[in-house]
Structure 1
Amino acid sequence: MRNPIDGETRILGVLGENIAYTLSPAIQNAALAHARLNCRYVAFSVTRKKLGAFFEAVRALDMPGVNVTIPHKEEVIRHIDSLSRSAKRIGAVNTVVNRKGSLRGENTDLAGFRALLNGLRVRDIRSALVLGAGGAARAVLVELAERGVPSVRVACRRPARGKALLRALGVAGESIAWRAREEEAVDLVVNTTPLGQNARDAKPVGKRFLRGVRAVTDLVVKPGGTSLVKDARSLGVPAEEGSLMLVEQGRESFYHWFGRRPPRSVMMRALEDSYR
């Protein structure tokens, strides 16, 4: 049972732009209720120009912290006081922790993607195709590098952007044009683009290309599977959409704010219920 809202209720939330779609409030409020914490988690749609004022409010209201989503994961670094090792490595922040007015940036995307990849139980990945070179690709590329995947290709509309991202992260790899994404067989396909959020979206890659793939991960959150995941599963290829990543990174954020991790099942149930 939730605590009633009263004069001591504290506020957390997720910071982004045009984020009515976000599922973070559903899973975090379920975790807060389970832990019987007198807090509420909401969505904050804030423009880039107002980020400074927003973080002053975080300090003034003594908010435990916030999550950060597109398009602010890199820009928020200018407005906080320190970065964790993972946030420095990835060059982006998805969790801000407030400790007596000092704001520290964390990145739990790495833990989330690691859990997603571990769930596929595919070993000895020798090659990977990463679709997209936006902020979501950062944690993916770092994790693939840490696993020692020898061949990593980034497919994007502007190859120069992919090349710059690889260089910024210090990750060995190749940036290729989007149209060339299906030219070479790979072990692993990772979709970091929004393609698949809507039923009318074009598929990130064709079904025929997936015949030679050993595993597929799609960061788009869609319980039951995106079109990419469904295509892969129909061919017997292990595939997962982004629900587990969202839940796991949410659990890690909760840990940074409150020093404990909520049950995975509580957050996953809330996520699935939001789709019913």
Structure 2
Amino acid sequence: MDKNNVRVHGKESVQNVGPSNIKMVYQRFGDPTLPPVFLIMGAGAQMINWPEGFCLELASRGLHPIRFDNRDAGLSTHFFDAPVPDFTAIQSGDYSTVSYTLSDMAADTAGLMDALGYDSVHLIGASMGGMIAQTIAIEFPHRVRSLTSIMSTTGNNSVGQPDYSVLANLGSPPYHDRQAYIDWQIKSRKAIGSPKYPLDEEATAQIAGLAWDRDHDPLGMLRQAVAVMKSGDRTEQLRSIEIPTLVIHGENDKMIDVSGGRATAEAIPNAELVTFEGMGHDLPKQLWSEFAKRIANLIYRVESVK
């Protein structure tokens, strides 16, 4: 199917999702009768951080992508009444200020499947979204047809660690001013993005501005980040995953080192690992077609034996 002929559905929302009874906002692409593919984004990111062009690539290959805002991101429920995470205490093992874990976010996603009438879906997760997708495959194995984990890791602290010197130079996102936030996003994407593929600053600024307009909760990303910390190491549980799995990672990822992707693929039986030279912690436009082709091939193999 030609990407230009793919239907882009409007933003939709559903209430009382999952055990936490949250609101979730989502958007569909293409034909709802085709195999459903849930796209799960990373910490501090919104569904719009899944590039529309990438979603159209998937849809043009006979899939039905659905992107959505996680809890504490975008237009889905924010936990404003939760305690402010005490990062220092959390690092020392005191999780009393952590409001939820990746398991809760996995249950949100399973709840969205229920709300949309799906017994099972294909999962694509990026960064923290990959961790959530892994958790769903562990805790709700019957709900997952295939798993694609992109630029993610296992939770084992000996792998997938960031380049802290890069993060220190970035500082925290400025949530006080829209233009400052946009400028910081461009600076951040340049620092952790793909050295082989120049950043499209205009497109980045447009998405960053839209993200600000949808949500600039200064603590949302922090609540998500500490959920990751509390959730711990999934390595042994990943060995129980029996569904077809694709692991994609950039060899120049400064946010989650490529060792995290390699460890994920090693832990999941028969997982396929694909790494890209010159790719960092982003989804370069130049690789959308290649990503979509590999993901679609994985899904076709699964659907053909149903």
TM range (shorter): 0.3 to 0.5
Larger radius of gyration: 1
What is the TM-score with the length of structure 1 in the denominator? 0.38
What is the TM-score with the length of structure 2 in the denominator? 0.35
Q: Per residue, is there more strand in 1 or in 2?
A: 1
Q: Greater relative contact order: 1 or 2 (C-alpha under 8 angstroms, separation 6 or more)?
A: 2
